[in-house]
Structure 1
Amino acid sequence: MIDRFVLGVALFVLIFVINSSTLQAQRIQQSNYSTTGYIKTNGTIQNSNYSTIGYFKSNGTIEDNSYKTIGYIKDDGTIQNANYSTVGYVKENGTVQDNNYRTLGYIKSDGTVQNASYQTLGYAKDIRKEWIAVFYFFFDF
């Protein structure tokens, strides 16, 4: 009987650890390194107090905290609003452009986010560049 109990507890702990590690949040910081928010690996967007403010869905849909669709991320890096109008682009090299192809900023490979004048806006390491662009340049969360 004790062996089953121990096995059950061990299994529970293992499942908890696996689930916890898959939902780790990556920090979004301002240029002074203060935390602005978090994006979990499952796409949940949180503010600095860990309150959920939006979602990046696996199908490219962007939702606010009430699950209302506010935009879309297309496979080619095109960012659209809820009406499917293009609001910008995220290029493979990390360049972020508006719908008229004017450069808004850059997302460097180390997670540094810069505006068009190369001034650092913040840091978002190990987060998809499309998610970073949406957070910093296209939608207010």
Structure 2
Amino acid sequence: MAHTRLALLCFLAVGLLATHVNGEIVIRKSGSTWVRIDDDGTIRIKGSSVGRYESNGTIRKRGSSVGSIDSDGTIRRSGSSIGKIQSDGTVRKRGSSIGRIESGGTIRKRGSSWGSASNCCGSFGSKKAIAAVLVFFADDYFDR
């Protein structure tokens, strides 16, 4: 009986952890919620759907493909490499580091705190999803 209860508790604990890891990612900027990335990859800015980060790395804005992130982290716009997200969270533009997505969720640009992300950042997959938002949806992160 004790083994059955222990097994059930372990099963429930693993289920709760899996739910937390796969939950939506919330990106905050200037202290306010700015973006949510839903479990299915839908990107919402201030509640409205503006795009999608697909499981194959394609990034869509209002339905049209605007770029992609390769499995190795190479960021592409119109097929051409424009940067990279490294597994440690370093964001590079044309080879130079411009920022970092830290494992704890802090998003940095040129060493300064730019924002934060929750329910993420330990995995390379979540860092790629955040990089997709920073590169293709944040006017003041990658292109400035």
Gaps of 5+ in 1: 1-20
Residue matched to 1:29: 28
For 1:98, the aligned partner's letter is: K
Instruction: Give the Cα separation in 1 of the matches to 2:40 and 2:31.
Output: 24
Q: What amino acid is aligned across from residue 101 of structure 2 in structure 1?
A: I
Report deviation, 1:24: 4.8
Aligned length: 114
Match of 1:125 among 87, 93, 118: 118
Provide the identity percentage: 32
Aligned to 2:51: 54
**RMSD of the TM alignment (CA)?**
1.8
Q: Does 1:76 align with 2:72?
A: yes
CA distance in structure 2 between the partners assigned to 1:25 and 1:126 by the alignment: 7
Query: 2:45, 2:82 → 1: CA distance?
Result: 23
Structure 2: any 5+ residue segments left out of the alignment?
Answer: 1-18, 121-125, 139-144
Q: TM-score, structure 1 length as denominator?
A: 0.74
Corresponding residue for 1:16?
A: none
Larger Rg: 1
Aligned to 1:135: 133
Query: Paired residue for 2:38?
Result: 40
1:94 pairs, out of 89, 101, 114, with 89
